[in-house]
Amino acid sequence: MYFSAMHRSKMRPSATAAQRAAHSDPKTKSPPASSKWVQQFLLFALFFAGLMLLHAPLLRLPYFWDEAGYYVPAARDLFLTGTLIPQSTPSNAHPPLVMAWLALAWRVFGYSTLVTRTAMLGLSAFSLLGLFRLSRIAANLHVAWATTVLVALYPVYFTQSSMAQVDLPAAGFTFWALAAYLEDRPWKQALWFSLAALTKETAILAPLALFGWELLGYFIRRNWTEGGKESRWKEILPPEDRRSHLLFLLVPVVPLAAWYAYHYAKTGFLLGNPEFFRYNVAATLNPLRVPLALAMRLWQLFGYFGLYLLTLAGLLAMLRPPQLERRLEKKMVNGAARPRIPFWMQAAFLCVLLAYLVFMSAVGGAVLARYMLPVVPLVILALVSTLWRRVRYWKLIVGAVAIAFGAALFSNPPYGFSLEDNLAYRDYIVMHAEASRFLALRYSGERVLTAWPASDELSRPWLGYVGRPFLVVRIEDFSHPQIDTAARVRNRFDVALVFSTKYQPAHALFGIENWDAWQRIKEKFFGYHRDLLPEDIARRLGGTIAYHKELNGQWIAVIAVEREPEARGAESGAHLSCVGTGLCPVQAGRSPASTRESRDSHSHQMAGMRFGYDPNAFARGKVESVARRQR
């Protein structure tokens, strides 16, 4: 594997010079600019058409999890009101570039999930084009095609391609920026890194990491110049004749700082709302949590969803000598060893990878695989290049890994994972849509107990689950303490929508998911909980299961709660308790004026539960939301 090969013996000076010339100046004997644009457009069209074809069954699915909880509401606010700061959900300070892209798409083509997912697939195709260009500059055309296909099929990238979230577009802009960095195009790299930072703030890690590497290289060169001798660092550091000044790598800090200044001026908070900051920063900086998160991040980089096959193949390939070229190809003579990615390019990739690895191990309440999308393709690129260089039948190995990625899309692994990382998210959406339709047919107008994100699915029709909003009583999850809390005030809801919030493998790898010690660690550091089964929830709430469905390890149920005779009379007392606080539920037939105070509140918390009100207030210029952990 290339990242581990930097300490190996140096290449011959002549070979080094030839490779540097070939890789540092990709414009040598290049076609005219117009021809390049045509080629890139055709490649983009090919990638976009392929993604549309593969995602065709998914394009009309309602929104899922963080899509429904933050990104779509934020984009919808921008679409309807023109404000960059979300109004219908607490702001978490993510830069607004993707939300602006979605608002533009809705303005042109109309608001629908089809338009949303098509717009995101356009960004995904553009990201693949950037990765293809980066791979071709760093390696060659064969490696570029293989890398692009594998990344497109990698389950995490595949599912994120059509989701209205920001991590994949940020990765795409980073690919374009790294390509410009390798080509020594300073202003282009500054532009692409700036767009990446305005897509998601953590994308600033890449230019800062490269800035640190360039600065270290400056001091190393000065030391070996003063000593009058060359250093073994010469092949690892960027070429000395590059036009780019390291200060260009600090340009993206300016627009990101401007966004944060604007956000602070409008909200009074610099890094999002206090709950967002607590969950993603303050609660994660624990010296015991960081190494555990680091181990999980390493698994996501080298083993997650079939990546272990590619990693193992790359490590074994390192034991073999380089393959010899069998034909004349550009400046390589017949019989020459296949070239590696130049060491200085490997070093640049490694710096970016380490920056993400360290930062994402220390920050982020949820250790989600999508946060590593800017660097996982760099690992795939390095491993594919290793196979191409050292294995004769490397295409067979790449094909086998592609098949493994495709299988991982449809089959759940024997360990816990986020539902958004393969097509399990589709199963979730389908089950929730069916249960929502059942509620609309059987319990229209009733008060529903549930947890986020179903609380948003039922209270916001524009998310695609219901035609009319339900009055929702929200609990945090379906664990033992939360269900017992709900049981004590069951007169406040008529029906419960309960579902599995986490995937629990039936046969866990090495049984680790069932270890008590591991569960305690996850509970303490990663917010883990175990949901009660529908039968247990129904028994504790004193209700009966009216609807139940299971699909590929997930489940959902509707529980009709048996009401006590005096329950209705108790409701008036509950309503009186909120008079003057702006937290009363909005009832049909009440005028907007009489409910103005209730519409101004975000949420109402009582006995451990939160009550979301008046989802249609947006049409009257007001908004509502339920406080939640955002990622």
Which tens digits make up the pLDDT trace of 483-511? Answer: 999 999 989 999 999 999 988 777 666 66
Cβ 606 vs Cβ 474: under 8 Å: no
Residues 365 and 426 in one domain: no
Residues 571 and 545 in one domain: yes
pLDDT at site 407: 97
Residues 7 and 140 in one domain: yes
**Total domains present in the chain:** 2
Residues 111 and 27 in one domain: yes
Residues 427 and 368 in one domain: no
Nearest to residue 404, comparing CAs of 328, 523, 264, 305? 305
Q: What is the pTM of this model?
A: 0.84
Given a cut of 60, whether residue 580 has pLDDT beyond it is: no
Nearest to residue 446, comparing CAs of 472, 421, 464? 472
Residues 391 and 426 in one domain: no
Q: Which of 365, 388, 411 is the last residue of a domain?
A: 411
Residue 592's pLDDT band (boundaries 50, 70, 90)? Answer: very low
Given a cut of 90, whether residue 302 has pLDDT beyond it is: yes
Given a cut of 50, whether residue 513 has pLDDT beyond it is: yes
Among 62-66, 140-144, 180-184, 328-332, the minimum mean pLDDT is found in: 328-332
pLDDT at site 280: 78
Q: Which of 393, 411, 429 is the last residue of a domain?
A: 411
Q: Which two tokens mark 172?
A: 């795409």
Give the bridge partners for 214, in sequence order: none
pLDDT at site 602: 33
Residue 418's pLDDT band (boundaries 50, 70, 90)? Answer: very high
With the C-alpha atoms ordered 282, 286, 292, 294, is the resulting torsion angle positive or negative? positive
474 belongs to a structural domain? yes
pLDDT at site 625: 34
Q: What is the mean pLDDT of residues 72-91?
A: 95
35 belongs to a structural domain? yes
Given a cut of 90, whether residue 344 has pLDDT beyond it is: yes
427 belongs to a structural domain? yes
What domain range includes position 564? Answer: 421-620
DSSP at 232: G
Residues 338 and 451 in one domain: no
Residues 463 and 358 in one domain: no
Residues 479 and 392 in one domain: no
Among 224-238, 260-274, 281-295, 523-537, the minimum mean pLDDT is found in: 224-238
356 belongs to a structural domain? yes
Other CB atoms within 10 Å distance of the CB of residue 382: 26
196 belongs to a structural domain? yes
416 belongs to a structural domain? no
Residues 274 and 310 in one domain: yes
30 belongs to a structural domain? yes
pLDDT at site 285: 80
Q: Give percent above pLDDT 90 in the chain.
A: 65
Higher pLDDT among residues 522 and 61, named by residue: 61
Residues 606 and 581 in one domain: yes
488 belongs to a structural domain? yes
Q: Which of 385, 411, 437 is the last residue of a domain?
A: 411
Cβ 181 vs Cβ 189: under 8 Å: yes
Cβ 160 vs Cβ 377: under 8 Å: no
Residues 432 and 333 in one domain: no
Q: What is the 3-state secondary structure (H, E, C) of 70-131?
A: HHHHHHHHHHHHCCCCCCCCCCCCCCCHHHHHHHHHHHHHCCCHHHHHHHHHHHHHHHHHHH
* Average of per-residue pLDDT values in the chain: 83
